[in-house]
Chain A
Amino acid sequence: MILSIASGKGGTGKTTVAVNMAISLENIQLLDCDVEEPNAHLLLHPKVTETKPVYVQIPVVEEKKCDYCGECAKFCKFNAIFVTNQRIMFFPELCSSCGGCAIVCSRNAINKKKRKIGTTKRGSVKRVKLVYGELNVGEPMATPVIKAVKKQMQPPKEGDIIIDSPPGTSCPVIEAVHGSDYTILVTEPTPFGLYDLKIAVEVLSKLKIPFGVVVNRAGIGDKKVHTFCREKAISILLEIPYERNIAELYSVGKPFVLEMPEWKEKFRGLLDKIKESLQV
């Protein structure tokens, strides 16, 4: 199955859940789709065996053919092309690679070329296969890199797939969780955690992906996340208590299940619970 791990708020523990779950389950493909700030590899320390560039297609204008009619600029909804009397300017970071400008050009003056915006890396450690992406610093669009990471997914029969999503609720998150069989929403029991959980719940309902909640740092804050979940009949799949030990292990880049092996059973139980709920 394809299981994504998301949250509205950043820093609630998505990567912690993804990595510890992957280690506990074994034979797992972990896709780190937080390509703006990928962190799973910092906890897993995989041996990277393959690095691939991620390209997007951008237009390139043959100025000899161009008559500066401005149709392409008029078409472009992203303001990536600007045409004056005798000049055409192109802003590659704004281009969404839709390809429409080449279609509207009556003189066939627009061709395509590739532009590198990031990298994907593949590696493994024990029985966890990891693919992660890195968006180049200064590039605004994360989605093509997320797509490239997901493209490296092998069929689920090669091992269940865990997708570590970026925080938030906008396009990169949609791209990351799209196609998942189930999404785990990680939250913390605080007012920020609750507010952002509510937004994330709306997004997943809209996407029609079944979901459940993992409460991280349980014991801090208040009980309102629990009340909300109870009222909305959202199942709380697991609670990870706030413990200084867990926070310290995270700070040095060590997945806590390695020091607290009793948690492996809980993460395995978490997946069983999800699989069970999907069969109903």
Chain B
Amino acid sequence: MEGEVPWASRQDKGELAGLKEITILSGKGGTGKTTITASFAALARNSVTVDCDVDAPDLHILLHPTIIKTQEFEGPKLAEIDPEKCVECSLCQEACRFGAIADFQIDPILCEGCGTCVVICPEDAVTLKERVSGEAFISKTKYGLLSHALLSPGGANSGKLVTLARQNAKEAAEKGQCDLILIDGPPGIGCPVIASVTGVDMGVIVTEPTVSGIHDMKRVLQLLAHFNVQPLVCINKYDLNQRNTKKIEQFCSRQKIGVIGRVPFDSMVTKAMVSETPVVEYSSESGVSLEISEMWKDILSRIRRIQ
């Protein structure tokens, strides 16, 4: 396999050629992204970790961050109608493509802050107001810095918050002279996922040997190809269905995509989560931990070859 891939170039010195970013993603939720990212964070030396699942961030549960910096995230603005000026002409209601205006009132959940209502109002009764849609944090953990964020419930523009979390991580990495950023991505393939993969050096897809896992992995692979990111695949709970594991391996081999690991199903992984500890630390000699450690070594050797 080595040397066949276009992005591989031999530069095995142990150092990375500049700051590198790796995103862990999956398409389908619950395949084990966060479990594996937390273990990578524990194994990595000199890295900054980012939790880009800003809707439902879970990495902090395993990494126990102490927040050192909090930043408000201003999402899309919110339209506001001045009832004193409003003549109830309904023009704004008709123009709003998001159905966010009814009875001359703005529904803050549906309003995307586009401002069409502002420009269409003949009475200047509508204005856009700033609104806080979440928070971003930089935290210390025993494994290094963590950049994380939390979108307000029902908040819009998670992609922009992901971008902010990544920017914060980059700044922190540069300040701390770290050369690696580990990104825990959200599920799906839409806006926040795109924001988590654009410009990264490598995308590690954690899949599972289920019909849905395979279907969703294929869509994420297409997404990585679309954004020109080198893909790698890890099969989690591989022994749940060995036939499907075989199918994934055959598919990846045909597509020349590296399968870097097969992590067995083990109920100990849930126990590690309940004890809020990365699995490689909770049970370092288990088959799961050994496999994750091997994967991590493999990832490092591959990323060193990227210029």
Q: Which residues of A contact B (CB under 8 A)?
A: 8-12, 15, 34, 36-37, 39, 42-43, 75, 77-78, 96-100, 103-104, 135, 137-142, 166-174, 178, 190-192, 195-196, 199-200, 202-203, 206-207, 220-222, 247-248, 250-253
Contacts and interface: CB of A to CB of B under 8 A. Distances in A.
A39 B58 contact: no
B56 A137 contact: no
B188 A166 contact: yes
B190 A135 contact: yes
Contacts of B223: 137-138
A15 B153 contact: no
Contact of B210 (A142, A167, A190, A250): A250
8 contacts: A37-B215, A37-B219, A96-B114, A137-B222, A139-B190, A195-B56, A196-B58, A203-B153
A167 B188 contact: yes
A20 B120 CA distance: 48
Contacts of A9: 29-30, 56, 58
A142 B55 CA distance: 15
The SS class assigned to the A binding surface is loop
A221 B268 CA distance: 10
A206 B116 CA distance: 25
Given A37-B27, A168-B158, 16 more contacts: A10-B28, A10-B56, A11-B187, A12-B30, A39-B216, A96-B114, A137-B226, A138-B194, A166-B188, A169-B155, A170-B54, A172-B188, A192-B61, A195-B61, A203-B154, A221-B273
Contacts of A98: 97-98, 112, 114-116
Interface of B: 27-31, 34, 53-56, 58, 61, 76-77, 95, 97-98, 109-110, 112-116, 119-120, 151, 153-159, 186-194, 208-212, 215-216, 219, 222-223, 226-227, 240-241, 244, 267, 270, 273-274, 276
A137 B219 contact: yes
Contacts of B194: 138, 140
B270 A190 contact: yes
Contacts of B29: 9-12, 167
Contacts of B211: 39, 42-43, 251-253
A103 B210 contact: no
**Looking at B31, B56, B240, which has the most chain A CB atoms within 10 Å of its CB?**
B56
B58 A170 contact: no
A254 B60 CA distance: 35
Given A12-B29, A100-B115, A206-B109, A192 B219 contact: no
